[in-house]
Amino acid sequence: MKCRLSETLPKTAEWVYEIKFDGFRGLAVRNGDSLQLISRNQNELGPKYPAIVTALRKLPYRQLVLDGEIVALDEKGRASFQLLQRAGEIGGKGALFYYAFDVLNVNGRNVTALPLMQRKALLKAVISGKSDSIRFSDVLPGSIDELTVGMQKMGLEGLIAKKRDSRYEPGARSGAWIKFKWGHEQEFVIGGYTDPEGSRPYFGSVLVGYYDGAKLTFAAKVGTGFNTKSLKSFYDRFQTIGTDKTPFANLPERGGVIGPSQMRVCKWVKPLLVCQIRFTEWTGDGHLRQPVFLGLRDDKDPREVVKEVPG
């Protein structure tokens, strides 16, 4: 079940609110001895986060389907996407948790038709006290104004609003779940990179965009958010998906960030990699202001990446 992006949060009593985690969404599917951790685009996340799989196996159910978020917490207890990236690397360390916020099936019983608050109560009973790494994402107490102030002070990126009586609708974006962000952050597709300058190794910036129908539209040149290790890792990956032609439908730009002269120093890659970018705002000419690279998203299909516009 998916969330709609909104510019405002509903304030009536039919809605409840949860933390919007900055992590990887994943369905935990237990069927006998088989346990899978499945991303939104059907990728298997278990090999990347074996500690979460081990913790999920401690739940005493032979058949179980949970919906939740794989999260890495910083020293202040805040979800950090950059920490999550490092925790998923070979030998990486980090405080990893699976925050379960919904349940779809328990011991073969499909519970998606139950109202949200009944599913929440069932979920809490299912996971309570079984493993510290598997945590219950509860609804938040207080008014929406109090929550917004508190969440912003903590440095969290947003809130999720859900209708109390909503059923679980797999694959749907019905409007019964709403996401609200007070910062700007979303996924983009990598379509190329520039040569390095000065003492920087491997590459200078990545070129990112989003799909507008069938066309990949250029949005930004992103050069911050990398370290030497990540520069090499991404550069090596780019060499396996290189192409001679730009995948962006709107390049070169007349008087824009990537004009004809800039095109000569760009290298192109097939639009197969999705990344997370934080930025301050969209500019009038459709670019990102002050973008920062946060990491790759293996849980997203590039074709699903569009410009997020609040409804």
Just list the catalytic residues.
20
- Extract the tokens encoding 53: 């799989």
The neighbour count for residue 145, using CB atoms within 10 Å, is 10
What are the tokens at 35?
């346990």
Buried b (16+ CB within 10 A) or exposed e, 155-183: ebbbbbbbbeebbbeeeeeeebbbbbbee
Question: Residue 7 in contact with residue 310, Cβ under 8 Å?
Answer: yes
Distance between CA 104 and CA 125 in Å, rounded?
Answer: 14
| Cα 29 from Cα 62, distance rounded (Å) | 10
Categorise residue 143: left if φ over 0, alpha if ψ from -120 to 50, beta otherwise.
beta
Strands 4-5 vs 177-181: parallel, antiparallel or unpaired? parallel
Rg over alpha carbons for the chain, rounded to the nearest Å, is 21
Q: Do 40 and 78 touch, CB atoms closer than 8 A?
A: no
Q: How many other CB atoms are found less than 10 A from the CB of residue 14?
A: 12
Tokens of 2: 């998916």
